[in-house]
Structure 1
């Protein structure tokens, strides 16, 4: 039987609260303030009502233009829908679909470890790319200033949203091992994504094992992002203040809203 508390949205299986985690100094992250999720395009009427009951007032959409146009969010009326495209509003989603429809190209791009290399590149780009830094900074500002609860999401809720969660929890002082566990918790919620990708591979005659690294959260991907933080900025605090350009009043406002 599905645990309704763990899976509050039946039609968005990777939706979950960012709260409840203990911080290094003995505090705790408040529940009901910020949520992370996969795409919200398939929400049924019951889940739309649940978003309202949870006090959600803003949704931050990290997807590309292609993803948003092909799968627009289904939201309650009155919710502020903010687009923060971390990838420069280009057609990454469309490109992936095109690659998977061509077995030869898919093998060339993702075979022989290419899918794993691609995921490591994604992890680095989310830390250093100008669009990603601007988007994540604005996300933090909006959560810090929000009048109600905020949902942050991408398509699967594992990579772009995974780093979004790591960023917020890191600012709040949640230990890295806890952040890693939260990141890996997506793996038990990705069956829909994995089924979709397997089906795409079957249609094109591609071995699903070729793209398996792209359908999972692996600690190596998160570690790659943290490594990029250290290589580029020297420390997580420098990333927050210099890389993202977040000022201390914003950081303190986030902590004030989200720490019990």
Structure 2
């Protein structure tokens, strides 16, 4: 029998992985509800504390989908829960600027050129456009949806901070399930209060880059306009979210039906 995981008083399932959370409980526009305990989103899973491993193992996770780049995965390997299959699914070209911003922050000259004087916000807007049109992203997010629809559950998917690559993955899955846009944005913005782990390494990177923390902050938080950039870019390129699903992600109606049948009550 698995251990029942109680959400702690601070709202965390795993306090050592602050952006680990269940997408269950969200309502769809038609009045249905996303089932609890089937679909989790998270920040990097190398930081699960020894004290919380039993809770982590008790969640019944059978698929762990890692959206990070090869460098990120090798630097900080995940702790995979007992009984789960680990899969790396790329949603960014590892050579793209958006996938290598941490490396850029190690070089003060490059960091100033890329992120100073408000450029960090423009950088993030570019990342959110790439997440919905780049070939690697289209292939990767299709894979994520198919795994959620057809693979063993529960499933957890994550990147490093659990806010951008994971944020779009959650927005996509919730959109396919029929959750309204306002609720999707609310879930997305919840990452802002769960960045304690990310802030530690981002502050170190900021110090190494010579940039003031204020110049780096746009990359450490989510903003509604970031997610809106993805949705607007979808409309510009594909005409609608539905067209993006069919023509961009090339997901079949059968896969979407399976996802809804599994995840909704």
Which residue of structure 2 aligns with residue 49 of structure 1? 54
Single out whichever of 250-259 and 112-121 deviates more from structure 2: 112-121
**Is the counterpart of residue 183 in structure 1 residue 161 in structure 2?**
no
1:204 to partner: Cα distance: 4.1
Q: Aligned equivalents of 1:27 and 1:73: distance in 2?
A: 33
- Residue number among 10, 14, 18 corresponding to 2:15 in the alignment: 10
The gaps in structure 1 that reach 5 residues or longer are none
CA contact (8 A) 1:34 1:149 kept: yes
Which residue of structure 1 aligns with residue 171 of structure 2? 166
Single out whichever of 38-47 and 161-170 deviates more from structure 2: 38-47
CA contact (8 A) 2:142 2:251 kept: yes
Q: Aligned equivalents of 1:203 and 1:132: distance in 2?
A: 30
RMSD: 1.7
- Residue number among 70, 79, 104 corresponding to 1:74 in the alignment: 79
TM-score by length of 2: 0.93
1:89 to partner: Cα distance: 4.0
TM-score by length of 1: 0.94
Q: Aligned equivalents of 1:99 and 1:229: distance in 2?
A: 28
CA contact (8 A) 1:136 1:164 kept: yes
Q: Aligned equivalents of 1:104 and 1:158: distance in 2?
A: 27
Q: Aligned equivalents of 2:96 and 2:131: distance in 1?
A: 16
Aligned residues between the structures: 259
CA contact (8 A) 1:64 1:92 kept: no
1:126 to partner: Cα distance: 0.4
Q: Aligned equivalents of 1:129 and 1:205: distance in 2?
A: 31
The gaps in structure 2 that reach 5 residues or longer are 1-6
